[in-house]
Chain A
């Protein structure tokens, strides 16, 4: 009985400390954002009506949400973000799948080197890699000079500060997140299985669609979610590479908060964004736990 006590304490410590931290600094903040989204903005510090005023009692208003549905800006931002994130995810898949396949089929040391080269950009600054594209895409930038030099265009194209630049930036920044989970599933794919399928008369295309693709499907879903979810709320890429009409919701939220200083409205924008992302995030959480369980 006495010996069991320190063990119970140990168990409680290991679970309790990270649990408390996540409740305090991850879950509680969402509850507060939800509460503030039902407040009015006021000119004070902090700039919203108090949570509970002794004189007035509990004050709740749905004005912020009403405003979200009335002003086109927010609808357009949400829809445009979903479109940009979805198309970028698809492009990442189209570029990343053959790359992951090639890495998984590479021999010995080559495989590790190729993998390391995918991981390397992930460790270097995200902000600086987005900035690198500003130099590539500007009016006198490398891309325009190359196109001019090849005689494909006569006037420099406006590429920087357009939607195209945002697509390019997102695909570039998130490509490693697509390749790594794809590689993890394709690496497990048994070479013997492919040989057997080929021996049984499967043509390459048939083998790919009947064997390779189904086996790698969990990687496609995991990579897709790892790109789609953060890309939907992306701020840096539309802010640096996008034009004035590139309204992505992450940038709209940021401007609402920092430029208009309307905290309750920004909270309402964030709440709706979390609601949109709820299903994809739960899906992501399920497959990441299923993956951890499968390897056990």
Chain B
């Protein structure tokens, strides 16, 4: 018994070290004065300063944030509708095909999604003249399509796990499906929709491959700029950028986790 516990404990230590040492090392080197990631020549914030003055990176970050905001919002709308259709509307024609198309984007390799969406946009342009040019709009459409699948998973998990007695009571009292969904179900799944939105937002912000396929020559998102820099080797200002992004996301996730933990504790102890 003791032997097994030691084994599990060392596996956990090894696993978490494996997950975190590269990130923490990268953050540490971002404060190094030297351009090289091999000799420590002293503490410096010069790479953060260089980052702040790099207009290409700032512009790309703003473009990425704009695309992420739009695509997360639409993905949440579509993903929530899809989750409601799958878990509240019973059988309908084409349900199997629908669930297949909803699950496949979760695992589909990005090169395939990117290539096929580009072919669609090029063909549509030839037939309808739309989209006139590729850029932020086409990237947003691509991101909505794969992010809505993630939102649907998060919201559907909530819909199937939650207690249905409130909805059933409202139905028994003569509520109509639309009214019950809007008045009862929606407020109950709102937290899941929010986590779905955040997930869609970060997925969009992070996507390199799909955006590379469907973007035009004038619009480079942040991952595209980062990729073109690091393909040539180590870039110290990318270390600084990584440190900034990891800190923001890390604090956000920790805050969300702490909030969830606190609410869960309140529910179990029955305190207000």
Contact = CB atoms under 8 A, between A and B. Distances in A.
Interface in B113-167: 115-117, 119-120, 122-123, 126, 141-142, 144-145, 148, 152-153, 156-157, 160-161
Contacts of B16: 117
B256 to A, nearest CB: 9
B214 to A, nearest CB: 10
Contacts of B234: 134-135, 138
Nearest to B261: A112
Contacts of A292: 86-87, 156-157, 160
B196 interface: no
Contacts of A235: 109-111, 209
B226 A14 contact: no
Given A19-B94, A125-B223, A232 B12 contact: no
18 contacts: A10-B178, A21-B148, A22-B82, A26-B101, A26-B145, A46-B123, A99-B11, A102-B12, A117-B19, A119-B253, A121-B20, A123-B202, A135-B29, A175-B19, A229-B109, A236-B209, A274-B112, A295-B161
Contact of A125 (B86, B142, B245): B245
By secondary structure, the B interface counts as: helix
A217 interface: no
Interface residues of B, number: 98
Interface in A257-272: 257-258, 263, 266-267, 270
B111 A132 contact: no
Sort A-B residue pairs by CB-CB distance and give the 5 closest, nearest first.
Answer: A233-B109, A140-B38, A29-B116, A98-B11, A18-B82
B107 A124 contact: no
A289 B99 contact: yes
Contact of B107 (A99, A103, A281): A281
Q: How large is the interface on A (under 10, 10 to 19, 20 to 34, 35 or more residues)?
A: 35 or more
B81 interface: yes
Contact of B242 (A7, A14, A123, A125): A125
Interface in A84-133: 95-96, 98-99, 101-103, 105, 109, 112, 114, 116-121, 123-129, 131-133
Contact of B116 (A11, A32, A172, A232): A32
B36 interface: yes
A14 B250 contact: no
B173 interface: no
Contacts of A3: 176
A131 B30 CA distance: 13
B176 A128 contact: no
B208 interface: yes
A14 B1 CA distance: 53
Contact of A127 (B103, B227, B233): B227
B216 interface: no
Contacts of A232: 109
By secondary structure, the A interface counts as: helix
Contacts of A99: 11-12, 15
Interface in B175-202: 176-178, 181, 202
A95 B101 CA distance: 31
Contacts of A236: 208-209, 227
B89 A32 contact: no
Interface in B75-108: 78-79, 81-82, 84-87, 89, 92, 94, 98-108
Interface in A121-161: 121, 123-129, 131-136, 138, 140-142, 145
A175 B23 CA distance: 15
Most chain B beta-carbon contacts within 10 A, residue among A103, A129, A172: A129
B37 A135 contact: yes
A42 interface: no
Interface string B225-267: 0110011011000110110011001101110010001000000
